[in-house]
């Protein structure tokens, strides 16, 4: 029916009507909070480029998670800054590794919290790459053995979900096989299925102290220009046994996210990465934008595009804004 019978503005006339016809609603249960954990005690070191975020020692992390749990956010994902880095990422699969201890402490204090393990080696390698290297090449198949070992170590530590982010081919299959063999058939895998070689990770690399010492990650993370390749990547991870998939970053890749949700139908997530967060924070600090509205608009857009849940540094703030 054309105008004047059709008048879309009719349904925008009052707040109550707008609420009634709203298609996408955020809730605290949509969020996963990323945390950075470091050795020590009583440590809470601010991350300069990510206002409000810290590198926590395990005891401080357990404290920080209290308000998050209170706010209704169901899950966290942990990144570790180990004591020492080496060429075999020993800290990633050490029994008393930093994220292993953090997960155990969190599960002990908050048994109902879903604790997700990021499985990657860049934070644990002296060269900062996400795999074993030879010269300046990042080796794929040689890395998988370590991937498998790390997944089992994380599951043993109490992690509820394993989320491989290294972008090695075959990593999901290697993890599924290793988990099943070790008695963790019920531990799900959240695959960073379409992870792009993105400049939006800048602040994270300071936070996790993980920048590559040479080259970049373009030989394993995806070219931002590619869409069809993302569909192939995700299809492979689904075939290898991914229970849930992720697209990362989020806002610049909503086309990929929407297509992934539609095509695969699996629980689908998106990672609003450090640079996305930092840009909003920086503009807001300058008084150029309304932080709350921009943050919630971004998160709503990510959900509208197809995300069932969102990894976001805004998890706590957004949960509070929504609750208020
Ligand atoms: C590890 C990893 C990175 C991020 C999550 N896992 C960094 C990278 O790939 O360089 C980025 C997250 C963020 O920017 O918030 N590979």
Question: 283 C-alpha vs ligand 1 centroid, how far in Å?
Answer: 22
Query: Does 259 sit in the ligand 1 pocket, CB within 6 Å?
Result: no
209 backbone φψ class: left, alpha, beta (φ>0; ψ -120 to 50) = left
Q: What is the mean pLDDT of residues 310-320?
A: 98
Q: Which residue has the tokens 């370590």?
A: 146
Q: Would you give the distance in Å from CA 2 to the centre of its chain? A: 45
Confidence (pLDDT) at 210: 87
pLDDT at residue 167, as a whole number: 96
Burial class of residue 53, CB neighbours in 10 A (0-12, 13-18, 19+): buried
Atom of ligand 1 nearest to the CA of 272: 15
Ligand 1 centre distance from Cα of residue 303 (Å)? 21
Residue nearest to atom 12 of ligand 1 (CA): 273
What is the radius of gyration, based on Cα positions, of the chain?
20
Condensed to tens digits (0 to 9), the pLDDT of residues 38-82 reads: 999 999 999 999 999 999 999 999 999 999 999 999 999 999 999
Taking CA atoms, 126 is separated from 123, 133, 206, in Å, by 8, 11, 15
The Cα–Cα gap between 269 and 310 comes to 5
The reply to whether ligand 1 has any atom less than 6 angstroms from the CB of 118 is: yes
Rounded to an integer, the average pLDDT of 251-275 is 98
- Between 324 and 75, the higher pLDDT residue: 75
pLDDT at residue 34 is higher than 60 = yes
Is residue 201 within 6 Å of ligand 1 at its C-beta? Answer: yes
The answer to whether 194 and 253 are in contact (CB under 8 A) is yes
- At 274, list the tokens: 């450090």
Catalytic residue among 63, 88, 95, 248: 248
Widest CA span in the chain: 70
Active site residue 195: yes
Does the pLDDT value for residue 135 go beyond 60?
A: yes
Which residue's alpha carbon is nearest to atom 5 within ligand 1? 165
Residue whose entry in the numeric block shows the structure tokens 């608009």: 297
Separation between Cα atoms, residue 125 and residue 212, nearest integer Å: 9
pLDDT of residue 206: 86
C-alpha 231: how far from chain center: 19
Q: In this predicted model, what pLDDT tens digit does every residue of 173-209 receive, in sequence order?
A: 999 999 999 999 999 999 999 999 999 999 998 899 9
Closest CA to 75 of 129, 120, 117, 132: 117
**Per-residue pLDDT at 153:** 98
Q: Which distant-in-sequence residues (6+ apart) come within 8 Å of 113 by Cβ?
A: 65, 69, 74, 75, 76, 106, 107
Q: What is the pLDDT of residues 85-114, one digit of tens each?
A: 999 999 999 999 999 999 999 999 999 999
**Active-site choice (195, 261, 281, 303):** 195
Pocket test for ligand 1, best of 165, 168, 219, 270 (most atoms within 8 A of CB): 165
Are the beta carbons of 301 and 250 closer than 8 angstroms? no
Nearest residue (CA) to ligand 1, atom 14: 201
The predicted structure's pLDDT at residue 324: 57
Cβ 315 under 6 angstroms from ligand 1? no
C-alpha pair distances (Å), 189 with each of 51, 154, 155, 175, 289: 30, 12, 11, 8, 37
Residue nearest to atom 9 of ligand 1 (CA): 201
13 CA distance to ligand 1 middle (Å):
43
Q: State whether the beta carbon of 204 lies less than 6 angstroms from ligand 1.
A: yes
- What is the overall mean pLDDT for the chain? 97
At residue 151, does pLDDT exceed 90?
Answer: yes
Mean predicted confidence (pLDDT) in 303-308: 98
Describe the chain by its helix, strand, coil percentages, rounded to 5.
45, 20, 40
> Which residues make beta-bridge pairs with 31?
310
**Tokens read off for 160:** 């509820």
Sketch the domain layout of the chain as residue ranges.
Answer: 25-323
Asked whether the beta carbons of 88 and 110 are under 8 A apart, the reply is no
Q: Which residue, judged by its Cα, is nearest atom 7 of ligand 1?
A: 201
- Contact present, 296 and 321 (Cβ < 8 Å): yes
Q: Which CATH class is domain 25-323?
A: alpha beta
Whole-number Å distance between alpha carbons of 157 and 99: 9
């Amino acid at each position: 029916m054309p105008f004047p019978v059709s008048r879309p503005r009719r349904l925008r006339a009052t707040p109550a009507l707008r609420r009634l016809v709203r298609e996408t609603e955020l809730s605290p249960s949509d969020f996963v909070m990323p945390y950075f954990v470091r050795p020590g005690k009583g440590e809470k070191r601010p991350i300069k480029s990510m206002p409000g975020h810290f590198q926590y020692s395990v005891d401080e992390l357990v404290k920080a998670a209290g308000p998050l749990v209170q706010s209704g956010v169901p899950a966290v994902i942990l990144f570790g800054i180990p004591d020492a880095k080496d060429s075999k990422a020993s800290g990633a699969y050490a029994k008393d590794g930093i994220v292993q201890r953090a997960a155990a402490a969190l599960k002990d204090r908050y048994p109902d919290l879903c604790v997700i393990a990021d499985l990657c080696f860049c934070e644990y390698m002296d060269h900062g790459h996400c795999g074993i290297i030879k010269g300046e090449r990042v080796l794929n198949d040689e890395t998988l053995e370590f991937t498998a070992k790390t997944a089992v170590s994380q599951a043993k530590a109490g992690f509820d979900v394993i989320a491989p982010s290294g972008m090695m081919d075959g990593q999901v299959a290697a993890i599924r096989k290793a988990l099943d063999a070790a008695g963790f058939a019920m531990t799900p895998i959240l695959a960073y299925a379409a992870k792009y070689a993105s400049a939006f990770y800048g602040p994270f690399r300071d936070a996790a102290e993980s920048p590559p010492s040479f080259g970049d990650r373009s030989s394993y993370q995806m070219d931002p220009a590619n869409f069809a390749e993302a569909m192939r990547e995700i299809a492979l991870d689904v075939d290898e046994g991914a229970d849930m998939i992720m697209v990362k970053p989020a806002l610049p890749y909503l086309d990929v996210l929407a297509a992934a949700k539609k095509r695969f139908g699996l629980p689908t997530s998106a990672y609003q990465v450090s640079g996305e967060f930092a840009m909003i924070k920086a503009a807001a600090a300058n008084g150029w934008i309304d932080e709350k509205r921009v943050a919630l608009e971004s998160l709503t857009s990510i959900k509208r595009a197809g995300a069932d849940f969102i990894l976001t540094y805004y998890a706590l703030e957004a949960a509070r804004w929504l609750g208020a």
